[in-house]
Amino acid sequence: MDNNKRPRRFRDGNSPRPAQSHFSPNAGRNAPAREPLATGPFADMGIDHRINANIAAMGLTRPTPIQEQGIPAVVEGRDVMGLAQTGTGKTAAFGLPMLTRLIKYGKKPDPKTCRALILAPTRELATQIATNIEAYAEGTPIRSYRVVGGASINVQTERLSRGVDVLIATPGRLIDLIERRAIDLRETTYLVLDEADQMLDIGFIHALRRIAKMLPKQRQTLLFSATMPKLMEELAATYLTNPVRVAVNPPGQAAKKIDQGVHFVSQGDKATLLAEYLSKHIGELAIVFGRTKHGSDKLARLLEKWGFSVAAIHGNKSQGQRERALEAFRKGQTQVLVATDVAARGLDIPEVAHVYNYDLPNVPDNYIHRIGRTARAGRDGRAVAFCAPAEIDELRAIEKTMKTSIPVIGGEAPPAQATSSRAAKGRPARPNGGNARPARRPSRKPAGQRSNA
């Protein structure tokens, strides 16, 4: 959440919002003079006084670089392409000016329509955005709604029948609702693609192209991405018109307040080492990233057996299970969250003090997203990577991406030859220049290293 010190529960199909009055004819800047005038940097950029009061109460009083550069362009109605890592305040950068502009409509949306569509790659990120949008818009006529897989599509269909101002959705569930004719995008005048690079990584490109054809050509489009691969440039050229480009916290750079370290350890000793680290900060929140769903579940059960308060989230968990696990973690009822990369973006819990990369990610950028779950809202954080001999190549790729070396805080790095392709696969180098075979092939890697989550 963007500097949000007062998280509010968003409303979805499982907790419907009671009927309330909607837009008044005197909305937005046409309000009577007796309404209080907002002051401060956000007000100076044109943010509505009610929204400004909400974010001030949440502790958001000074704009981050992406907010400072992006908000004026959005208020002006320009398309924006933002390049920034998670945790830089992107949700407020697009949410505050978008809500300000929506307030000016002066009437409620038509049934089965939405005025603004925000697409996110994961349920967790969609949930985080929905929570923020509702907090920003509290006390205004704006009504937001979130639709993701794993929740009742019938309840979602019923809610959309009344129309909604801001719809936050994952692409897959949105397509399902479109096919049921539960939502019509022809009146959608704002489109936001958040973490667009991750949407491409997990195969949503065809869904995005299909959705784009259903939107009016006359719209404002805001695209935010942590990286800018070639396909992203093509996507931007298709979706955006003469966009303002905003780039902060360049790709490959982690937050400066994160104290990073790598501990070299054999794969079989990782669980014991993790328990030793966790025992040093009992009561503080820690996220442990694994590579696979099965491996994360297995690790969570082991830690629980050892007496730690643990929850696990990954793609095989139902939406209800994931939300309950995150809520317990957010409240401090559990101190350790074991997760796959579904939690690498969009998880904003400022109290997270430690991140452990139990398994190094296959994609270097995911390391940066993972450790970005700590050192949020101006706090300090610590990130420790466990590196087994078979993960040396992954470590080197991460360091190359970040253009820096991660300090060694434990264990011993394997000898130079261990970075060869055979060593990276967990095999010993062949003697005599590779002409002889080892007498015995080592066992397969543990399940936690075989596939991506």
Q: Give residue 250's pLDDT.
A: 61
Higher pLDDT, 1 or 199: 199
Q: What is the pTM of this model?
A: 0.69
Q: Around 327, how many Cα atoms within 13 Å sit in the side-chain half-sphere?
A: 11
Q: pLDDT tens digit string along 224-260? A: 987 777 777 888 888 899 999 998 866 556 667 899 9
How far apart CA 449 and CA 202 sit, in angstroms, is 19
Residue 16 pLDDT more than 80? no
Distance, CA of 44 to CA of 388 (rounded, Å) = 52
Provide the sign of the torsion angle of the four alpha carbons 59, 344, 155, 221, taken in this order: positive
Confidence of residue 315 (pLDDT cuts 50, 70, 90): confident
* Short-list 137, 177, 133, CA closest to 156: 177
Write down the mean pLDDT value for the chain: 83
CA atoms within 13 A on the CB side of 102: 33
CATH 1.10.3720.10 given to domain 258-449? no
Token pair in block for residue 435: 């002409």
Q: Read off the pLDDT band of 84 (50, 70, 90).
A: confident
Task: Give the mean model confidence (pLDDT) for residues 65-75.
Answer: 94
Would you state the pLDDT for residue 237? 85
Same fold: 28-247 with 258-449: yes
Tokens, residue 104:
């000016």
- Give φ, ψ of 109 to 5 degrees: -70, 155
* Nearest CA among 225, 186, 239, 271 for reference residue 369: 225
The pLDDT of 58-81, averaged and rounded, is: 93
pLDDT (0 to 100) of residue 157:
97
Q: Which two tokens stand for residue 175?
A: 């397509």
Q: Mean pLDDT throughout 270-296?
A: 96
Contacts of 268 (CB under 8 A, 6+ apart): 446
- Give the right CATH number for 28-247 from 3.60.15.10, 3.30.428.10, 3.40.50.300, 3.40.50.970: 3.40.50.300
Kindly tell me if the per-residue pLDDT of 31 is higher than 50.
no
pLDDT 10s digits, 125-176: 999 999 999 999 999 999 999 999 989 999 999 999 999 999 999 999 999 9
More confident residue, 98 or 449: 98
In this prediction, residue 453 carries a pLDDT of 36
Mean pLDDT across 402-412: 94
* pLDDT value, residue 38: 60
Q: Measure the CA–CA gap between 49 and 132, rounded to whole angstroms.
A: 17
Please calculate the CA angle 332-377-244 and round it to the nearest 5 degrees. 135
User: What CA–CA distance (Å, rounded) separates 137 from 143?
Assistant: 8
Lowest pLDDT segment from 113-117, 223-227, 397-401: 223-227
* 33: CB partners within 8 A, 6+ apart: none
CB 417 within 8 A of CB 411: no
Pick from 221, 216, 219: nearest CA to 119: 221
Dump pLDDT digits (tens) for 340-373.
Answer: 988 887 688 889 999 999 999 998 888 988 998 8
In the numeric block, the tokens 């939502």 are attached to: 183
Edge to edge, the sheet with strand 381-387 lists 310-313, 336-339, 285-289, 352-357, 381-387, 258-264, 408-410
Q: What is the mean pLDDT of residues 302-322?
A: 92
The answer to whether residue 381 scores a pLDDT higher than 50 is yes
DSSP string, 181-227: T--B-TT--EEEETTHHHHHHTT-HHHHHHHHHHS-SS-EEEEEES-
Domain locations in the chain?
Answer: 28-247, 258-449
* Region of poorest pLDDT, from 16-25, 61-70, 222-231: 16-25
Q: Are 263 and 386 in contact (CB under 8 A)?
A: yes
CA dihedral 132, 135, 136, 137 (to 10 degrees): 120
Q: In the structure, what pLDDT confidence band is assigned to residue 438 with cuts at 50, 70 and 90?
A: very low
- Under a CB-based contact definition with an 8 Å cutoff, are residues 2 and 65 in contact? no
